[in-house]
Structure 1
Amino acid sequence: MRHCSVQVRGLLTRDELDRYNALMEVGSYLESQERYDLAYTIQKEVDILILPAIERLKDKGRARDLATAEYLESLRKAEQDEDDDE
């Protein structure tokens, strides 16, 4: 079973995380029983379950990029204002 990243796991809600952990436990058991056909189905469910958390991670990245762009723009304006004062 493939685990999702720590960043994605950190953005799962409590219910999503509980379901994720249960699915991973079932999938690991199935793999230990060499039932890879069923473990594949569980992995697909995990992949679907984590999609909202992946979107939340993307949203955080977009917000961070926007804040960085605004900060750099404010620095550019401040520098331009200094140049205009001279």
Structure 2
Amino acid sequence: MLILLDENGKQMDSEAFSGYLQKHMNSGIKTLIFVIGGPYGFSDAVYARANGKLGLSKMTFSHQMVRLFFIEQLYRGFTILRNEPYHHK
């Protein structure tokens, strides 16, 4: 399962993202891959291969920052799924 992190992808809050993760984990897929887009997006072949697109923000960030932001969102998503107190509603 290939998900592109693309500025034109679907945007969601942390709780919706945790539900998105849960849905994919429950689907039985073995590998979920997130790929960060370049400054000009992806090639047409990559867009055609992708199973979905997520957007982190309409703002522009460096690849180094996107990696950090996305790791934090993964952590937050999994703490929401485990009902841990990291995420505040």
Does TM-score exceed 0.5, indicating one fold? no
Q: Which has the higher helix share?
A: 1
Which one scores higher on RCO, CA 8 angstroms, separation ≥ 6? 2
TM-score, reference length from structure 2: 0.35
Q: Which has the higher strand share?
A: 2
* Structure with larger Rg: 1
